[in-house]
Chains A and B, each alone.
Chain A
């Protein structure tokens, strides 16, 4: 079987002015380095600082070519960005790992994952997930564990994740206990996590006549005397705990329902 001819192509319409994708396919050996250098000269002339090298159609790469990529990467790091690889096949990944490239370059499954990582690391973009579920306490444990996994996956510490899990648990339990039941009255949870914080919004529908009672229940305890609450006051205890664990919290109660908004900063 003959080697496929080397092909390269640059694209920049990836929704971010700093990002360029260089697609390299075929057989990249020593003879292809001149072509690579020509393409990187072109990239260097532009304002791009984050270059994703898409290797999805690459059949082989020689160590000299990898050395070239290392040099180019340095250039983009100096511009405040980087050069990363995406779309590596099992064979190419093994080869590059053997050459130690994994210690220098980030590898991503596809171009999209590389762009997502860029936005997270460089643009502090948040990831948002919205979940709607019927008001039933049985469904709260899966929701709170989801919140914990979400932030752990994004690099938050076990301790931060545990506190976030507790906050989500308390807010959702309150929403289920004090909201309207039935399949049509869902509890809506939205979690937006970025590098520095998680923003949690939980809404439930409630009976209009309960507004006054709920407002009374959700009043903050007097500051300075501690957050102690009556031992038989479940709602109050939950809210006090959320206040203690979070950095900001507000409750919006209308005749349509209640929305609790909590911000928890990443501590570790």
Chain B
């Protein structure tokens, strides 16, 4: 059976870092059965890892019972990833916005050991990254990554 593009896979996951490895591998396998290369899948795995990590660590207002929503819209030539958290603190949201805005060029290398590299990697590996915040401080990060040979 041939997959009909575009299609969406959506996942609701607990706001728990432990779950991320299983989720990112799941997405990687979905991309590979959808005809994307192993390299594309690997890089997408890094993106999923970083934005889910971010949503869980900063976007759940300290409540471990919250959920994070992940949607992958899979097109023939690209994948769109949307990760929605359950509402973070205004300070965290400002930091996130700033991290997304920061120019890729002339980027001072952040302190790797202290963390905070995740979003920089996402920017390097994707075509676009956008962030929207609703009135309840729920943040959605939308990342688009194109197939290399498209």
A12 to chain B, nearest CB (A): 12
A115 at the interface (CB under 8 A from B): yes
Residues of chain A within 8 A (CB-CB) of B114 are: 89
Interface residues of B in 1-24 (CB under 8 A from A): 1, 3-4, 6-19, 21-23
Asked if B29 is at the interface of the complex by the 8 Å CB criterion, the answer is yes
Contact of A141 among B1, B33, B62 (CB under 8 A): B33
Inter-subunit contact B57/A129 (CB<8 Å):
no
Is there a chain B Cβ closer than 8 Å to A15's Cβ?
A: yes
Question: A8: CB under 8 A from chain B?
Answer: no
Kindly provide the distance from the CB of A205 to the nearest chain B CB, expressed in whole angstroms. 16
Q: What residues of chain B lie closer than 8 Å to A146, measured between beta carbons?
A: 22-23, 25-26
In the complex, what's the smallest C-beta–C-beta distance from B73 to chain A, in angstroms? 10
- Say yes or no: B19 contacts A127, CB within 8 Å: yes
Q: Which residue of B lies closest to A21 (CB)?
A: B62
**What per-residue 1/0 map shows which CB atoms of B32-74 lie under 8 Å from chain A?**
0110000000000000000000001100101111000000000
Closest to A108 in B: B17
Interface SS of B by simple majority: mixed
User: How many whole Å from B91's CB to the nearest CB in chain A?
Assistant: 15
Nearest-Cβ distance from residue A128 to partner chain B, whole angstroms: 6
Query: How far is it, in angstroms, between the C-alpha of A142 and the C-alpha of B31 when the chains are bound?
Result: 10
A127 & B14 in contact (Cβ 8 Å cutoff): yes
Using C-beta atoms within 8 Å of the partner chain, give the interface range for chain A. Answer: 35 or more
* In-complex Cβ contact of A183 among B1, B4, B16, B29 (8 A): B4
Query: Which B residues lie within 8 Å of A139 (CB)?
Result: 3, 9, 30, 33
Inter-chain CB contacts under 8 Å: number: 98
Verify B19–A109 contact, CB threshold 8 A. no
Write out the residue numbers on chain B whose beta carbons fall within 8 Å of the beta carbon of A142. Answer: 26, 29-30, 33
Q: 0/1 per residue, A109-129, Cβ < 8 Å to B?
A: 111110110010000000111
B98 cross-chain contacts in A, Cβ below 8 A: none
Task: Determine whether the beta carbon of B1 is less than 8 Å from that of A14.
Answer: no
Partner of B15, one of A112, A131, A138, A149: A112
Q: Is A100 an interface residue (CB 8 A)?
A: no
Please count how many residues in chain B sit with their CB below 8 Å of the partner chain's CB atoms.
35
Q: Does B113 contact A (CB under 8 A)?
A: yes
Q: Are B1 and A136 in contact (CB under 8 A)?
A: yes
B10, B16, B26: the one contacting A127 at CB < 8 Å is B16
Per-residue interface assignment for chain A, residues 44 to 64, with 1 indicating a CB less than 8 Å from any chain B CB and 0 otherwise: 000000000000000000000
Q: Cβ of A137: which chain B residues have Cβ within 8 Å of it?
A: 1
The one of B10, B29, B65 that contacts A132, using a Cβ cutoff of 8 Å: B10
Contact of A145 among B9, B29, B62 (CB under 8 A): B29
Does A105 lie at the interface of the complex (its beta carbon under 8 Å from any beta carbon of B)? no
Q: Which residues in A have their C-beta under 8 angstroms from that of B11?
A: 129-132
Residue of A nearest to B114 (CB): A89
Residue in contact with B3 in the complex, picked from A90, A109, A119, A138, CB distance below 8 Å? A138
Q: Which 9 A-B pairs have the closest CB atoms?
A: A142-B29, A149-B22, A146-B26, A130-B12, A134-B7, A115-B64, A132-B10, A138-B33, A142-B30
Known: A109-B17, A183-B8. 18 other contacts (CB 8 A): A15-B65, A112-B17, A112-B60, A113-B16, A115-B64, A116-B16, A116-B64, A128-B14, A133-B9, A134-B9, A138-B3, A139-B3, A141-B29, A143-B26, A145-B25, A146-B22, A153-B18, A182-B4
